[in-house]
Structure 1
Amino acid sequence: MKRLAFTLLELVFVLIVIGILAVLAMPNFRGHPLQDAAEQVASHIRYTQHLAMVDDKYDPTDSTWYERFWRIRFYESGTPDTYYYAVFHDTDKENNIDTTTHTEPAIDPLTKKYLYVGNSPTDARNNKRMNLTDTYGITNIVSTCDAGWIEFFFDNTGRPYVNSISTGVTPPYSGLLQNDCNITLSHVDGNATITIRPETGYVSVTYP
């Protein structure tokens, strides 16, 4: 007579084998810091574009209305270099984030934290994920589309602009992105490139 059932010993053996295979495969399921950072930045660029499209800053009575555009700006500071970024709109047109009233930074729709790194390490609104060096180990950020700091603006149609419009000395449409812009994040494990395309503002991520 054929035995159709497993014995308890066989069942235990199978569970042990499955456990060993799961442990060996586990590293493949862990998040990669470089990929996590790149996907986060890409999603925040898309979110900046979304905010700009639902919050039209055009004002016919203000000749520099475009300085209030929603933007994403990257920063570098400290020794060794620390890279972080923020998403905000410049209501007072002072070319920085108003950290007193907290009316300018965007709010993360998932965590309800501000999309910037606060001045105080004990501030509950301080979003540590915006610090790409401390959180993900990013060692460098470079851009192919503009000199100076890395910054992008979006208008109410979703078109991307580069940082030349933040000074208020050039006509707004001269700052429109004309060619693909690549932002490269560097990590000890390699690089990730985030590409923003002109006119549509389409964002993609590649890992060369």
Structure 2
Amino acid sequence: MKTVIYKAFTLMELVLVIVVVGILSALVIPRLERNAILEASNQIVSHIRYTQHLAMMDNKFNANDATWFKSRWTIAFNNGNSWRYDVFQDKNHDGAVSDIGEVAKDPQNPNRVLSSGFTGAADSVLSKKMNLGNKFGVTGVVFGGSCAGTTGISFDEKGRPMLQVSTAGGATNPVDRMITGNDDCTIAINNDDGKRAVITIRPETGYVSAVNPTNP
């Protein structure tokens, strides 16, 4: 009579498999909890640095134009139906984004620009992430410190933070500094979760950093 041998996992082997699967799941499966204010502040910091980089690579000096400095690269925030911002150069000095040729291309997607919208813009070229309200639930953007009362920052060819050049009441000459002395510029961001993050921009160097988001 032929003996049939049945093979099976031992209890120890089953426990080991369950433990390994649990560890792999913890490493592979993304966390569902989202820190929107951290994502927003990191994105803004990255785009401030990018604006500074563009300004340093693109010297706007023009001896034949007394208002050449108004074309400096700028990051500007506004609140229509939600908080949003643009990275642009005001070529025609009209105080706003006028056409796609004034807006920076998205370095992560060259087919799109770093703007959430302007007159005549096609949706296919805009970046939804620039709409802070819709993307991250941002409900407030407040400039403080040495840049209190402003809504944007321009940079000169040395990467220094300057008064925003594209708005009324902004810079009136090429040496108008936004940050003076040792005073920092701060940008406080609040969102609908009650969280707050503060971005700091240093004088002279324009070094930008963000603190960990906290409850206000």
TM-score of the superposed pair, with normalisation by structure 2: 0.80
Please name the residue that 2:12 is paired with: 10
Identity, in percent, stands at 35
Evaluate the alpha carbon distance shift between residue 184 and residue 18 of structure 1 in structure 2; reply closer, same or farther with a 3 A threshold: farther
**Alpha-carbon distance, 1:20 to partner:** 4.3
Evaluate the alpha carbon distance shift between residue 8 and residue 132 of structure 1 in structure 2; reply closer, same or farther with a 3 A threshold: farther
Which blocks of at least 5 consecutive residues in structure 2 are unaligned?
A: 1-8
Please name the residue that 1:205 is paired with: 210
Please name the residue that 1:131 is paired with: 131
Alignment root-mean-square deviation, CA: 2.7
**Alpha-carbon distance, 1:30 to partner:** 5.2
**Alpha-carbon distance, 1:60 to partner:** 1.4
Deviations 1:37-79 (CA, angstroms, capped at 9, x unpaired): 100000000000000000000111111111000000001112x
Matched, 1:98 2:98: yes
**Structure 1 letter corresponding to 2:115:** Y
**Structure-to-structure mapping, 1:25-174, within 5 angstroms:** 31-78=34-81, 82-99=82-99, 102-112=100-110, 113-119=112-118, 123-144=123-144, 145-146=146-147, 148-163=149-164, 166-167=167-168, 170-174=172-176
**Structure 2 letter corresponding to 1:36:** E
Evaluate the alpha carbon distance shift between residue 164 and residue 68 of structure 1 in structure 2; reply closer, same or farther with a 3 A threshold: closer
**Alpha-carbon distance, 1:18 to partner:** 4.3
Q: Distance in 1 between matches of 2:121 and 2:36?
A: 22
**Alpha-carbon distance, 1:174 to partner:** 2.6
**Alpha-carbon distance, 1:191 to partner:** 0.8
Matched, 1:180 2:179: no
The structure number with the bigger radius of gyration is 2
Evaluate the alpha carbon distance shift between residue 105 and residue 169 of structure 1 in structure 2; reply closer, same or farther with a 3 A threshold: closer
Q: Is the 8 A contact 2:197 2:211 kept in 1?
A: yes
Q: Is the 8 A contact 1:118 1:125 kept in 2?
A: no
Which blocks of at least 5 consecutive residues in structure 1 are unaligned?
A: 1-6
Deviations 1:56-105 (CA, angstroms, capped at 9, x unpaired): 00111111111000000001112xxx110000001111111123xx1000
**Alpha-carbon distance, 1:154 to partner:** 0.4
**Alpha-carbon distance, 1:204 to partner:** 0.4
Task: Give the number of equivalent residue pairs.
Answer: 198
Please name the residue that 2:198 is paired with: 193
Please name the residue that 1:4 is paired with: none
Evaluate the alpha carbon distance shift between residue 149 and residue 158 of structure 1 in structure 2; reply closer, same or farther with a 3 A threshold: same
Q: Is the 8 A contact 1:71 1:154 kept in 2?
A: yes
Q: Distance in 2 between matches of 1:123 and 1:139?
A: 23
Q: Distance in 1 between matches of 2:206 and 2:162?
A: 9
TM-score of the superposed pair, with normalisation by structure 1: 0.83
- SS of the counterpart of 2:61? coil
Evaluate the alpha carbon distance shift between residue 163 and residue 93 of structure 1 in structure 2; reply closer, same or farther with a 3 A threshold: same
